[in-house]
């Protein structure tokens, strides 16, 4: 399955799409990137005169690249129609080490811990353009093959 097919199958769209592209996707993990554009609406109020990307959006970026893209790849290998996949975020444990400012491009890597009974758990890491670790953690979610489940 191609990177473009995975990206087109993501259940997000702007302004809540935090994946610009993928550079690696295999059975063991994923790697992708996103640029937090300076004109993104949330920067207007977080924080006054000193905009910083909220940690919840850093977590979401890690989840979209490291968990959802990987999960769609794994389900596609099971011949599941990924256009009908439902996604539920079940847990996160993140540690934030550096801020991400408007205009910064980040790279997210994930390593599969396990994928059993359609539950995916991954170790994720986010790096800035200098290769410095921004945040890291463990994310888990459930993937279903029917949005009504």
Please tell me which residue in 3, 37, 42, 46 is annotated as part of the active site.
46
Closest alpha carbon to 75 in 132, 140, 142, 126:
142
β-bridge mates for residue 91, sequence order: 140
What six digits make up the tokens of 30? 């994923």
Interacting residues of 61 by C-beta distance below 8 A, sequence separation 6+ = 18, 19, 34, 106, 108, 126
Angle among Cα 111, 100, 50 to the nearest 5 degrees reads 160
124: left (phi over 0), alpha (psi -120 to 50) or beta: beta
* 5 noted as active-site residue: no
**Cα dihedral 96→99→101→107 (10° resolution):** -50
Q: Tell me which residues are annotated as active site.
A: 46
């Amino acid at each position: 399955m191609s990177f473009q097919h995975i990206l087109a199958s993501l259940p997000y769209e702007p302004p809540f799409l935090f994946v610009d592209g993928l550079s690696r996707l295999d059975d063991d993990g994923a790697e992708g990137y996103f640029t937090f554009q300076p004109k993104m609406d949330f920067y207007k109020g977080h924080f006054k005169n000193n905009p910083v990307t909220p940690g919840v959006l850093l977590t979401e970026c890690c989840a979209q690249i490291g968990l959802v893209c990987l999960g769609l790849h794994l389900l596609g290998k099971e011949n599941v129609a990924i256009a009908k996949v439902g996604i539920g975020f079940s847990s996160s444990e993140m540690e934030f080490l550096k801020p991400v400012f408007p205009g910064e491009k980040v790279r997210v890597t994930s390593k599969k811990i396990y994928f059993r009974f359609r539950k995916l758990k991954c170790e994720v890491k986010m790096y800035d353009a200098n290769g410095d670790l921004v945040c890291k953690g463990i994310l888990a979610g459930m993937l279903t093959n029917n949005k009504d489940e």
